[in-house]
Structures are given as structure tokens and as C-alpha cells.
Amino acid sequence: MIWYLFQRLLALLPTVLVPLVLVFLLIRLAPGDPASIILGDQATQQQIAALRHQMGLDQSPIVQFGRFLSDMATLQLGQSSFLQQPVVDVIPSYAAVTIEISVLALVWALVIGIGIGAIAAFRRRHPEGRVAKALGILGISVPNYFLALVLIIVFAVAVRWFAVGGYVPPAAGLLPHLQSLMLPSLALGLGEVGFVSRITRGSLLDVIGEPFVVTAKSLGLRTSRITTTHIARLAALPLLTVIGLLAASLISGSVVIENIFGIPGIGQLMFNAVSNRDYSLIQGIVLFSGTAIIVVNLVVDILYAVVDPRVQYGAHAR
């Protein structure tokens, strides 16, 4: 298992390295000088030149890239020019908020998506099954920012169950804290329900048609036992893969959702960092996002062996 995890880490390293290199190139090709943005319009050319030298922006691109790789390898993420704090001190508090929203969104996506997909599979010849299938197709087509606006209009403006936006920390109370996370997590989660329901329906239909299901029914086993013991376990394998994909989707979707609801998470932090050309902070956020995706995918790989005993890692794998 340890050797397998090491191999998986090596295989997943491009998940972090490639985006980091692309970010390094793209943010330096983008118009706008970080030194000019930080100092403002009233700064003199001498002040701008001094700050560029301090930030190392007056060096050649090759020297900057070499220093960039060295800093990433040693986790020396530098100082945020926008917040005037070390990047390693800034990211954790914002990341904790995004992780909370993403976990809640994942729960919404899985619970609602699996429910709709199961209805579409087991009741496929009935009206409710056709409606569930149509909902799955519709869910894929609706972007999460549109869902966010609909949720605000319905639950914040019309019935006034939740606030339009803002974030309440846990220290202010558990219930107000969860209420502040409800709408953004729903907007993120509902945006992935269609995808989850389609995967669930497809995997269930594949397993339902297997010979062992027909044999179990012919032996007189209860339908509920066949569904929970045999069908659900095999159908869960594609859903585990979906969790790994959703991790990347939820992190990227948080940029829009957190700005709509005014949530101080990684998405809003990334937006502010890009707006202010904060190179160090942008690179740190990309490093965190890539690492989070790697961790989720490693956990998913381990869960494969738990759900399906046929999957083996290490020396006993065949």
C-alpha cells in the first residue's frame, strides 16, 4: 500500500506542477504592473522601480522562474503584497471557510443527486422516473451562479429565511454560522446534482442488468436486500470517482459563489489576489488547491479497496 501511494503521489504531481507553471507564465504575461497597482497612481517612477527591485520583478524571466521553483519546493511562499502578511499565514483561515462550504456542497450534491439518479434508474418506466431523468439533464445545463441568484431571490428576498450574503464565524454561534453557509453551499451543490444523478443512474442500470442480480431474484432474495447488499455496493464505485472530480469542480466554482455571497474563502481571496496582481498569493492558492485535489484523490483510491475487495494494491495486486 505504501509503495502504491508513493506511485500515486508521483503520478499526481503534475496536478500541482503544471498549473503552477502555467500560473507563473500567465500572471506575468497579463497586463498591469504589480508595483504600480500597489503604490497607486501618485507614485513616482523611482518608487515603482524600487518596489519592482524589492519584489524581484526587474530580474530576467529565467531567474524569476528559477527562484519560483526553489520557493515552491521549500514552501517559501513569500509575502502577500495585497494583505502585507506571509502567504502561509493568510491561506489557512480562508481555506477553512472554503472547505466548510465544499463539504456541505458535496453532501447536497451526493444526497440529492443519488436520490434523483436512483429514482431515474429503478422507476425508469414510470412517470416519476422520466421526471427524475429530465431533472438530471436539466441540472447539468444550469450554471451555479444562476442557481445562486435564484436561491437569493427565493430564500433571502421572498421568504427571508436566510441573509442575502455575508459570513458568520463559528464563534458567533453554531446556528447563525450554518445559516450563513446554507445558500452558498446549496448553490455549489445543486450545480453538481445533475452530474451526480446521471452517473448514479448509469451505474445502477449497469449493475441491475448483471446476471447475479437475476440469479439472486430467482433464489427468492428480497428486493431490498439485493439492492442494499449487492447493487448499491457495486454502483458506488463510479460515485467514488465522481467525488474526486467534484473536489476540483467545487474549488473552482467557489470563486464565483463566494464573491456572489460575500464569503471570505479561497475563491474570494483568489479574485482579490488576481485583481491586485499579488503573484505570491496567487501561487500559494494554486499550490493549496492542487494539494487538496491530490489528497482527495488519494482518499478515493483507498476507499476503492474498502468498497470492493477485488481491488488490491501493492504486492498482492494482480
User: What string of H, E and C letters represents the secondary structure of the chain?
Assistant: CHHHHHHHHHHHHHHHHHHHHHHHHHHHHCCCCHHHHHHCCCCCHHHHHHHHHHHCCCCCHHHHHHHHHHHHHCCCCCEECCCCEEHHHHHHHHHHHHHHHHHHHHHHHHHHHHHHHHHHHHCCCCHHHHHHHHHHHHHHHCCHHHHHHHHHHHHHHHCCCCCCCCCCCHHHCHHHHHHHHHHHHHHHHHHHHHHHHHHHHHHHHHHHCCHHHHHHHHCCCCHHHHHHHHHHHHHHHHHHHHHHHHHHHHHHHHHHHHHHHCCCCHHHHHHHHHHCCCHHHHHHHHHHHHHHHHHHHHHHHHHHHHHCCCCCCHHHCC
Which residues are registered as beta bridge partners of 85? 80
pLDDT band at residue 141, thresholds of 50, 70 and 90?
confident
Size (the chain), residues: 318
What is d(CA 167, CA 204) in angstroms, rounded to the nearest whole number? 39
Quick: pLDDT tens for 236-293.
777 777 777 787 778 777 888 888 888 888 888 888 888 877 888 888 888 888 788 7
> What count of Cα atoms within 13 Å lies in the side-chain half-sphere of residue 74?
7
pLDDT greater at residue 309 or residue 72: 72
pTM: 0.77
What average pLDDT is seen over the chain? 79
What is d(CA 298, CA 8) in angstroms, rounded to the nearest whole number? 7
What would the grid cell of residue 299 be? 482518499
What is d(CA 260, CA 31) in angstroms, rounded to the nearest whole number? 25
Rg for the chain (alpha carbons), in Å?
A: 24
C-alpha closest to that of 230 among 251, 249, 209:
209
pLDDT at 216 over 60: yes
- Residue ranges per domain, the chain? 19-74, 90-316
C-alpha closest to that of 20 among 77, 60, 63, 59:
77
Q: State what percent of residues in the chain have pLDDT above 70.
A: 81
Q: What is the structure's pLDDT at 311?
A: 59
* Alpha-carbon distances of 165 from 47, 151, 183, 191, 213, rounded to whole Å: 39, 11, 8, 19, 49
Which residues are registered as beta bridge partners of 79? 86
pLDDT at 156 over 60: yes
pLDDT at 317 over 60: no
What is d(CA 5, CA 27) in angstroms, rounded to the nearest whole number? 33
Q: What is the structure's pLDDT at 132?
A: 84
What would the grid cell of residue 256 be? 464565483
Q: What is the structure's pLDDT at 248?
A: 75
What is d(CA 206, CA 192) in angstroms, rounded to the nearest whole number? 22
Residue 110's contacts (CB-CB under 8 Å, 6 or more residues apart) are 196, 239, 243
What is d(CA 306, CA 303) in angstroms, rounded to the nearest whole number? 5
pLDDT band at residue 194, thresholds of 50, 70 and 90?
confident
pLDDT band at residue 310, thresholds of 50, 70 and 90?
low
Contact 316, 41 (CB under 8 A): no
Which residues are registered as beta bridge partners of 156? none
What is d(CA 226, CA 217) in angstroms, rounded to the nearest whole number? 8
- ∠ CA 120-124-126, nearest 5°, is 115
pLDDT band at residue 12, thresholds of 50, 70 and 90?
low
Domain at 90-316: CATH code: 1.10.3720.10
